[in-house]
């Protein structure tokens, strides 16, 4: 049978969407951007690596990253079958999926193993506390030689009696002048980011190093809870235990996606519940799409650009406002540098003097022409009082260029590129770490009149 005839026969025998065809009962062709793969339904339902690309298996999160769409942080929308997002197929019941860790679904640690191992990863630290540091693997390992009832009895004897919420306990901890909250469900010893500070998630060692400014500290001794060293909590009564060296959990043996997930909270910053969360790229917070104000649209999630939550956007706005109100006399060097940086750029020559952008036939023209040469002259004559006035004149050039050259893509792109260069260099010059250049138009004063 020819390929054309075979294709015709396939269509005749499988009507409707391809995910309903008998041919694709076990697997589906999927795409993410320009990357293609084969999704195995049963593996997806079990939460395993389920997408085959050539000879390699990937989780949906890994497949999304491989396609260059990792910043979307929502594989259900970015991975598609016949242009239909997997989210739609899951909602309609055509696919079954567990919550992958990338979606920030909190997974409770598994029961303690039936045997304990003495910590060897902590060699070199305070030996006197090692006696209290019997640890357990997160994965249950029952001996095949022991009867089932005997194994069960051993587990009951060795496992602590604790409430269902015990693994969600938190401990306020300090080290020097620094403070944070240690989350029990993330704690495994020195591995895993279990300490949440105001700005980030840190491992116990990172917390000590950041607090003391050196790497010679001991996290067991230097981290304190209610005035006592953390070593006093390392026992089964508090259910704060160090995992064994061979522990296979995602805290002790993390995949790249697990390391990425550790950077953000496991619950929504607003409603304090778990679920499918969108993570901020500038702080540790995570949000449900409807909890954030404004609501997070799917188009934003699918965008490859970093996403900034409202908290971070507000702080960045405050930083920029503070810079704009500074006296330019104290920052003349920065402004002079920025102007020379623009003029030396390839596109800068077009904006240095009265370049008309092919506007001879245009009815509109700058009522108050502003060019880089004009700004240089104003700087020379000390006509600017605050930094915001200088920035306003620079932004005015780009705004007018974009307004007038909507139908001139070459010049329009030239102005946009130069604007991006200025925005980036401005943030560096004034040390605005989370700069929000897209908000400048509402922050800067109106241009000075001639």
What integer pLDDT is reported at residue 319 of this predicted model? 82
What integer pLDDT is reported at residue 237 of this predicted model? 61
What integer pLDDT is reported at residue 214 of this predicted model? 80
Element housing 183 (H / E): strand 178-183
| Residues present in the chain in total | 450
CB atoms closer than 10 angstroms to residue 291 = 18
What integer pLDDT is reported at residue 353 of this predicted model? 54
What integer pLDDT is reported at residue 99 of this predicted model? 62
What integer pLDDT is reported at residue 364 of this predicted model? 43
Across 13-27, 66-80, 100-114, 306-320, which has the greatest mean pLDDT? Answer: 306-320
Instruction: Compute the average pLDDT of residues 417-435.
Output: 84
- Which of the pair, 245 or 450, is modelled with greater confidence? 245
Burial zone of 412 (CB within 10 Å; 0-12 exposed, 13-18 middle, 19+ buried): middle
Q: What is the DSSP letter of 348?
A: G
**CA distance readout (Å), 254 to 1, 131, 267, 412, 435:** 49, 27, 19, 46, 32
Instruction: Compute the average pLDDT of residues 234-246.
Output: 75
Instruction: Compute the average pLDDT of residues 299-313.
Output: 84
List CB contacts of 178: < 8 A, sequence separation 6 or more.
197, 207, 210, 211
- Please tell me the least confidently modeled range out of 62-71, 255-264, 337-346: 62-71
How would you write 87-113 as a 3-class SS string? HHHHHCCCCCCCCCHHHCCCCCCCCCC
Instruction: Compute the average pLDDT of residues 144-152.
Output: 39
- Give the three-class secondary structure for 427: helix
What integer pLDDT is reported at residue 218 of this predicted model? 92
- Which of the pair, 353 or 339, is modelled with greater confidence? 339
What integer pLDDT is reported at residue 239 of this predicted model? 62
- Which of the pair, 100 or 46, is modelled with greater confidence? 46
Instruction: Compute the average pLDDT of residues 263-292.
Output: 92
What integer pLDDT is reported at residue 15 of this predicted model? 61
- Which of the pair, 212 or 355, is modelled with greater confidence? 212
**pLDDT tens, position by position, 173-226:** 999 999 999 999 899 998 889 999 999 999 999 999 999 988 788 999 999 999
Which domains are assigned to the chain?
Answer: 15-103 (3.10.390.10), 117-263 (3.10.390.10), 318-442 (1.20.920.10)
**pLDDT tens, position by position, 118-145:** 344 444 444 434 433 334 444 433 333 4
């Amino acid at each position: 049978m020819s390929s054309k005839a075979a294709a015709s026969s396939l269509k005749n025998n499988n009507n409707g969407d391809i995910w309903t065809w008998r041919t694709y009962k076990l697997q589906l062709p999927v795409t993410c951007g320009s990357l293609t793969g084969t999704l195995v339904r049963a593996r997806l339902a079990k939460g395993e690596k389920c997408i085959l690309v050539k000879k390699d298996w990937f989780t949906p999160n890994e497949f999304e990253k491989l396609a260059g769409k990792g910043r979307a942080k929502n594989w259900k929308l970015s991975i598609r079958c016949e242009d239909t997002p997997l989210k739609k197929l899951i909602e309609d019941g055509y696919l079954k999926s567990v919550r992958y860790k990338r979606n920030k679904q909190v997974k409770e640690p598994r029961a303690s193993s039936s045997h304990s191992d003495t910590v060897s990863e902590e060699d070199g630290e305070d030996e006197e506390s090692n006696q209290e540091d019997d640890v357990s693997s997160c994965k249950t390992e029952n001996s095949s030689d022991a009867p089932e009832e005997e194994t069960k009895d051993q587990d009951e004897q060795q496992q602590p009696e604790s409430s269902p919420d015990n693994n969600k306990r938190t401990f306020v901890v300090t080290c020097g002048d620094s403070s944070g909250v240690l989350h029990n469900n993330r704690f495994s010893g020195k591995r895993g980011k279990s300490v949440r500070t105001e700005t980030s998630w840190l491992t116990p060692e990172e917390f000590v190093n950041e607090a003391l400014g050196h790497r010679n500290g001991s996290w067991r001794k230097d981290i304190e809870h209610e005035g006592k060293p953390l070593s006093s909590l390392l026992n089964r009564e508090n259910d704060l235990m160090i995992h064994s060296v061979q522990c296979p959990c995602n805290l002790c043996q993390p995949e790249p996606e697990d390391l990425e997930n550790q950077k953000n909270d496991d619950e929504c910053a607003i409603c304090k519940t778990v679920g499918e969360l969108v993570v901020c790229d500038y702080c540790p917070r995570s949000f449900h799409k409807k909890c954030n104000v404004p609501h997070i649209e799917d188009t934003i999630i699918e965008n490859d650009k970093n996403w900034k939550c409202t908290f971070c956007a507000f702080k960045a706005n405050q930083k920029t406002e503070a810079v704009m109100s500074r006296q330019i006399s104290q920052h003349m060097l920065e402004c002079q540098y920025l102007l020379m940086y623009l003029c030396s750029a390839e596109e800068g020559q077009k904006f240095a003097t009265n370049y008309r952008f092919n506007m001879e036939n245009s009815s509109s023209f700058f009522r108050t022409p502003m060019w880089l040469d004009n700004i240089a002259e104003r700087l020379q004559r000390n006509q600017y009082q605050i930094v915001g006035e200088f920035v306003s004149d620079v932004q005015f050039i780009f705004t007018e260029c974009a307004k007038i050259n909507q139908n001139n893509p070459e010049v329009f792109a030239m102005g946009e590129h130069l604007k991006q260069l200025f925005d980036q260099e401005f943030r560096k010059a004034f040390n605005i770490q989370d700069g929000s250049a897209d908000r400048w138009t509402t922050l800067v004063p109106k241009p000075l009149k001639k």
